[in-house]
Amino acid sequence: MAGSLSTWVRAGLSAGLLSLTMVLAACVPGPPPEPVRFTAQGDIGLGAGAEKVLDVIAGLDPQLNLALGDLSYKAGREEEFCDMVTGKLGPEFPYQLITGNHESNGDDGDIDTFARCLPNSLPGLEGEYGKQWRVDVPEDNPAVRFIMVSPGIDFNDGEPLDYSRGSERWRWTEEAIDQARSEGIPWTVVGMHTLCFSVGEKDCDAGKAFTNMLIDKKVDLVLSAHDHLYQRSHQVELGASCPELVPDKFSEPCLSDKDGSMVQGQGTVFATIGVGGVGLYDVKNKDPEAGYFSTWSGKNRNPALGTLDVTVDAEQLTARFVPAEGYKFTDSFTIERK
C-alpha cells in the first residue's frame, strides 16, 4: 500500500509539473512577427507614367504590391500590361490584384486574364483572387492581414457584387476582420478600387453602410484608387457623437486624431492612391468632405504620380507617399500599436 501511495504521489507531482509547464509556456509570448513592407496604388495604364511608378516600386524593394484596380485601360492588352510589370519587378514578384471598374466587365480589359498572367504569389490566400480575397503575411506568425474586396464594381452581367448590409460578402468581410483580431494579428488592411468620400470626382461607390462598417470595426488602414489623385484622411471613428459618416457632409466629431502620429484602435485611416500612372483629376478643396482629409495631391494641387510605401511590424505602421521621378509631393503618417 505504501508503494502504491508513493507511486500515486509521484504521478501526481509529474502531472502537476506538466500542467504548470504548459501554463507557463502559454504565458510566454512568442517571437514578434517579421516586419512586412508593401506598396499600393491603382489607376495605372500602359504609358510612361506607369513605368515611372513601377521604377519607384522596384527601387523600394517591397515584399509585395497591391494593385488597386484599373490596370491597362485597354481591352486585349492584358498580356502587354503583365509584361510591363514583370519586366520592371520580375516574374516572381507578388504584384497582387484587385479589380477596378475598367477590367471587371471586359470593356477595357478582363480581370480573369490579368489574374492568369499576374497570378497570386502569396501562400495561404483564401477567396477569389482578383475579386475578393484575404491573406496573412507572413503566412506563419503574420504581421498583417490583407482583405481585398470589390464593392460598387459592375461585372459582366451589369450588376455589382452584393456588399449590402448582412449580405454574404458583407459577412465574409466582417468575419475576416474579426478573425484577424481574435488571432492577434497586429494589423488589418482593407483594399478596394472604389471609395466613399473624396475631394475628387467620384461618389460613394463603395457604399455608405459598407464604409461605416469598416470604421465601426476599427480597420487600421483602408486603401482605394478610382479617383485619380492622392488623398489621406485623418483618423475617423464612430461613436455617440458620430454615429455614421454621411456622404457629401462633414462632421467634426467623427475625427479622432488630426495629426500624423496616431494610435491604433482610435479610428481608421483612408488613403486613396489613384496615381499609378494615368492622368490626374483636379482636387476640389471646397468639397464638403474635405474636412476629413489631412492632405491631398491632384492635377491642380501638388500633382504627383507615385505609390504609398507602408511598413508594419509588431509595434507600428509607418507609411509615406513616394513620388515618381519629376514630382515632389510627399506625405507620411504613423499608427502606433497600443
CATH architecture of residue range(s) 36-336: 4-Layer Sandwich (3.60)
Query: Region 121-131: what's the mean pLDDT?
Result: 98
pLDDT at 158: 78
Q: Given a cut of 50, is residue 66 above it in pLDDT? A: yes
pLDDT for 40 equals 99
Q: In this predicted structure, what is the pLDDT of residue 260?
A: 87
Residues 300-310: tens digit of each pLDDT: 999 999 999 99
Q: What percent of the chain has a predicted confidence (pLDDT) above 70?
A: 91
pLDDT score at 8: 47
Average pLDDT of 100-112? Answer: 95
> How do the domains of the chain map onto residue ranges?
36-336
Min mean pLDDT across 126-140, 144-158, 171-185 is at 144-158
* Rounded Cα distance, 253 and 240, in Å: 9
Whether pTM > 0.85 for this model: the answer is yes
pLDDT score recorded for residue 174: 98
How many CB atoms neighbour CB 149 within 10 A?
27
**What pLDDT sits at residue 338?**
82
pLDDT interval class at 23 (50, 70, 90): very low
Rounded to an integer, the average pLDDT of 230-250 is 97
> 321 or 106, which is more confident?
321
pLDDT score of 157: 75
Rounded-to-integer distance, Cα 43 and Cα 21, Å: 54
Q: Are 7 and 30 within 8 A, CB to CB?
A: no
Cα separation of 333 and 310, whole Å? 10
Q: Is 230 left (phi over 0), alpha (psi -120 to 50) or beta?
A: beta
Mean pLDDT of the residues in the chain:
93
